[in-house]
Amino acid sequence: MDSLRHLAAHLGLDLAAICLLTFAIYYPRHRRRDLVPAYLALNVALFTIVAALAEVGGSGGMALGFGLFGVLSIIRLRSDAVQHEEVAYYFTTLVLGLICGLPHLGLALAAALSAVLLLVVYAADHPRLFARARRTVITLDTVHTDPAALRADLARRLGEPLHWTVMEIDFVRDLMVVDVRYREPEPRPAGQQTGSVETLRPAAPALDSV
């Protein structure tokens, strides 16, 4: 009975942590619904496997290690479908399942470690952190051999270039593909105008003389 209560407490902690990560941090910022069930299912499945292997193997040991290796080896992250910040959420999901699924880890310590993970992800992926920093892959309709000319062209099209890597140059079609890290220009205030506009007042009506 005590083991069931202990397992239920760890499961409740895991569900609370993954729900905070998914519904309070990830989805409001990235709005990718397709990854929400992936995070939830992966976390709960890993928690279940860790808890089951720990019960079978006693204190864990070699069986737990080989089991976790087998679970993690089947997870494939496609770089073309998942962004780098979403990979960080994947690994946080995995670690939360591991921490909360270990039955011999105290509940207070598991809760503290889970809170540290959530705080780090919350701060590292905060929208105000490097808010105007962006990355994009751009195809230019000209080939720049001068780095200064390339920088000026990127600044005109995107903003202040911070770093760029030329990925492809095609002299036949006269184009180049560049991976750019840049800083967006600051938005102008809503009421600011570039020039003054002269206000025309209607002329006063003429009075006929008698």
Supply the pLDDT for residue 135: 83
Residue 207 lies in a domain: no
Residue partners of 22: CB distance under 8 A and separation at least 6? 36, 39, 40
Under DSSP, is residue 208 helix (H, G, I), strand (E, B) or coil?
A: coil
Q: Residue 29 half-sphere exposure, CB side, CA atoms within 13 Å? A: 19
Query: What tokens appear for 26 in the block?
Result: 């990830």
Q: Which residues of 33-48 are buried (b: 16+ CB within 10 A; e: fewer)?
A: eebeebbbebbbebbe
Q: Which domain holds residue 35?
A: 2-124
Assess whether 71 and 162 both reside in one domain: no
Do 18 and 88 lie in a common domain?
yes
Residue with tokens 């080939």: 143
pLDDT of residue 34: 87
Bridge partner list, 140: 176
61: phi then psi, degrees, rounded to nearest 5? 75, -145
Asked whether residue 194 is assigned to any structural domain, the reply reads no
DSSP-derived secondary structure letter, 33: G
Name the helix (H) or strand (E) containing 133: strand 133-140
In this prediction, residue 200 carries a pLDDT of 43
pLDDT along the chain (210 residues), means of 10: 81 94 93 90 88 67 58 55 79 90 87 94 86 84 90 88 89 90 75 46 46
Answer yes or no: do 99 and 168 share one domain.
no
Give how many domains the chain has, as a whole number. Answer: 2
pLDDT at 210: 37
Residue 171 and residue 138 share a domain:
yes
**Encoding tokens for residue 81?**
């479908």
**What residue has token string 């479908």?**
81
Cα 125 to chain centroid, rounded: 6
Tell me if residue 182 falls in helix, strand or coil: strand
Domain boundary among 124, 144, 161: 124
d(CA 99, CA 82): 24
62, 151: one domain: no
In this structure, are 49 and 19 located in the same domain?
Answer: yes
| pLDDT of amino acid 53 | 76
DSSP letters for 137-153: EEEESS---SHHHHHHH
